[in-house]
Copies of this chain bind each other. A is one copy, B any other.
Amino acid sequence: SKSNEPPAAPPVVHYYMNNLTTSRDPVGNRETVLILTPLARFYQEYWDNLVKLNYPHELISLGFIIPKTKEGNAAYTALQAQVTKTQGGPKTKRFASVTILRQDTESPLQTQSEAERHKMENQKARRAAMAKARNSLLFTTLGPSTSWVLWMDSDIVEYPETLIQDLASYDVPIIAPNCFQRYYDDNKKTMDIRPYDFNNWIDSPVAKELAAKMGKDDILLEGYDKMPTYRSLMAMMYDASADPRLKVKLDGVGGATLLVKADVHRDGAMFPPFAFYHLIETEGFAKMAKRLNWESFGLPNYLVYHYNE
């Protein structure tokens, strides 16, 4: 600009929060979606599915948080290549903005094999670290015009391209599809599917009793034989022959794929990195949201697929 032009005044932005809708018709109402991914490993299918989403890309912003590990470095390089390609490609495929955060803290667990990260004794430290990563990403990227936050893990490699519209159509504060995994069944000699994410559940009296007897910093974990909770797991409710739109109320949720109205987070719902009612991370989030009068729901018969190592 010319040096004798009057200098532009810095930005002042006014946001009327009641103009920001989160409705069952998010495309019609031009509602913006922030897709957030804690990313330790990059999968090409993950990116390809983001690009294939048929929600208007100019309404989608992406946010990533990547750990300071060797694995994180590799994921960062792979992500950057795809971001550059997509954001420099056809206009209709470009996302509104992309924010990439590199963490400054070491991960408590360097090995990240499926077996290692699911060991019960590793879960508390690991999930506390994950909770902090999710909070950092959330607090840093949520903006005044965000209507929805879609949490999407980097190893979710298959879902319908109408995912955002499908989940938003229920018009509920928090909603999780059912996270499954494809695998080769050695007996049947064919590919099959099985439940993967056990964090979507309805609470049980047994779990409540277990919690009541615990030390105040202890946490309940789901999916471990050593600690049977008799919660009703959404992973076990899948029925291919039942109503595909079946919706159930949940008390705990996973973060693998989760659509949240941004106002739930704005009220203060975050991912507790400490025992919160004996729950942590995404499961603690559902509980905290409930304390703020926001309900969680799940779709037992709407599947998304987790990568199989």
Contacts and interface: CB of A to CB of B under 8 A. Distances in A.
Given A132-B267, A268-B270, A268-B273, A13 B140 contact: no
A10 interface: yes
B273 A12 contact: no
B94 A10 contact: yes
Contacts of A142: 139-140
A221 to B, nearest CB: 19
B140 A144 contact: yes
Residue among A12, A138, A144, A270 with the highest chain B CB neighbour number at 10 A? A12
A97 interface: yes
Interface string A117-151: 00000000000000110011011111110000000
Contact of A12 (B9, B97, B101, B265): B97
Interface footprint category on A: 35 or more
Given A17-B101, A140-B266, 13 more contacts: A12-B84, A13-B97, A14-B100, A17-B104, A20-B104, A132-B267, A135-B266, A138-B139, A139-B139, A268-B272, A268-B273, A273-B292, A274-B291
Which 6 A-B residue pairings sit nearest by Cβ, starting from the closest?
A18-B104, A135-B268, A17-B104, A136-B266, A12-B98, A274-B291
Interface of A: 7, 9-18, 20, 68, 83-84, 87-88, 91, 94-104, 131-132, 135-136, 138-144, 265-268, 270-274, 291-292
Contacts of A271: 268
Contacts of A101: 15, 17, 144
Given A10-B95, A97-B10, A265 B139 contact: yes
Contacts of A265: 139
Given A91-B7, A143-B140, A100 B268 contact: no
Nearest to A65: B17
Contacts of A140: 15, 142-144, 266
Nearest to A98: B12
